[in-house]
Amino acid sequence: MSEPRTYEYEQYDEGEYVYDAATGEAEPVRGRPTGRPPRTRPRAGRPRWMGWLAIVALVGLLGTGVAIVWVRHQINPGSPGAQVLVTIPSGSSTGKIASVLAKAGVIHGPSVFRLYVKLKGAGPLLAGEYSLNKNMKYERVISILEKGPAATMRRLPIPEGFTLAQIAARVGTLPHLNADKFLAAAASGQVQSPYQPPGSTSLEGLLYPATYQIQPGEDEVAVLRRMVDAFTSAAQQLGLDQAAVRLHMSPYQLITVASMVEREAKLPEDRGPIASVIYNRLKKGMKLGVDATVLYGECVSDPHQIDLNGNTPYNTYKFHGLPPTPIASPGQASLEAAANPPVTTYLYYVLIDPSGKHAFASTAREFDRLAAESAARGLR
């Protein structure tokens, strides 16, 4: 037997109806009128806004989940990629460091990294040059930057025949060194060579050409001192002081001769003969007439641009004797040629072959003939 139905009475414009409280259905009291149907009474339950709230909450949870996955991928992206060289400038903030790392591809973006460092209480992150990988874990990056850069030495090759200015420019190619500071240090007197004349502050020709391994902590003065010490050591091993006495010259003058040999000789076998020409002309009181000294004095590199009437003290076509300073850093072979020149009667030399070979002459007539031959070959 079914339970009795409970009705509630309401009146609408369409007529009078009763509602079944259990089913929410309406039944007419005096017949169903024509017109629009009666409205169904809503069942009891949650308000409609609570449904929308539930949907928004679900979307938020899904979004949060995606964000968490994204952040985790940023922090721990997986296998690292290619190696990259990254330089963190001195005084960089965490934000600046994060930007540098992101630009290099070490991390995916600066924002999460910056926040991660802050939340972890990591640091300080140290400036310097680092070898890192792209796509690195944040923990690994932070660990490396907290320890600081490895003490990576830099190769600094200084060729034979370089002037002091050229050496300074080469020093300036290293990230932590500056060419102008190097030149200033060389002129300041902070570093002295035992071969400098009294009162001289010029270190031209007194820096040894070699390949140096430069430590990150070495400054311009330290590098300059190493080069001067290397030259002094090489000269002492060669017996330069004793050779200078034997040649009736000062050690500094012998080094000046060696520097001229270094710049003039193109082939090893010509070093000794060129040195003998210089000594023979000095003994006879002849002007040396060496192109390399004029080029140095006028700061040009093309022999066709030199002014043989120029008034620089390095114009050995115009002034007698040696130039006031060396004109380059001579290497071991040129120092040996200047210290132990062969005995010859040569007074002249001229470039005679495109290979760099020089021809030598003892008389002006012989020299004129060789000079004409050189000119005919387009070498003068």
Residue (of 178, 327, 157, 153) closest to 227 by Cα position: 157
State which H helix or E strand residue 88 sits in. Answer: strand 83-88
Q: Where along the chain do its domains lie?
A: 1-38, 51-147, 164-346
pLDDT at 204: 98
SS3 of residue 106 by DSSP: coil
Query: C-alpha dihedral over 329, 334, 338, 344, to 10 degrees?
Result: -140
Instruction: Find the distance separating the first CA and the last CA of the chain, reported in whole Å.
Output: 133
Give yes or no for a cis peptide into 124 (omega within 30° of 0). yes
pLDDT at 85: 82
Give me the helices (H) in the chain, please: 48-75, 94-104, 110-120, 138-147, 164-171, 179-188, 220-238, 240-246, 251-264, 271-284, 291-298, 332-339, 364-376
Please indicate, yes or no, whether the overall pTM of this predicted structure exceeds 0.75.
Answer: no
SS3 of residue 103 by DSSP: helix
pLDDT at 69: 65
pLDDT at 73: 62
9: alpha, beta or left? (left if phi > 0; alpha if psi -120 to 50): beta
Whether residue 240 contacts residue 260, with contact meaning beta carbons closer than 8 Å, is answered with: no
Q: Which two tokens stand for residue 132?
A: 């890192």
pLDDT at 302: 83
Q: Which two tokens stand for residue 22?
A: 């259990």
Query: Which residues lie across from 213 on neighbouring strands?
Result: 155
Block means of pLDDT (10 residues each) for the chain, length 380 residues?
A: 48 50 56 48 52 51 58 70 84 90 87 84 84 86 86 87 97 94 95 94 96 89 96 96 97 98 97 98 97 94 84 95 98 98 98 96 97 92
Cα gap 279→165, rounded to integer Å? 27
Cα gap 99→111, rounded to integer Å? 9
Cα gap 186→169, rounded to integer Å? 13
Whether residue 21 contacts residue 7, with contact meaning beta carbons closer than 8 Å, is answered with: yes
Neighbours of 161 (CB within 10 A): 20
Whether residue 86 contacts residue 100, with contact meaning beta carbons closer than 8 Å, is answered with: yes
SS3 of residue 19 by DSSP: strand
Residue 353's identity, in one-letter code, is D
Distances (CA, A) of 271 to 130, 140, 245, 320: 45, 57, 21, 22
Cα gap 108→81, rounded to integer Å? 12
Cα gap 361→371, rounded to integer Å? 10
Cα gap 184→341, rounded to integer Å? 35
Cα gap 303→91, rounded to integer Å? 48
Class of domain 51-147: alpha beta
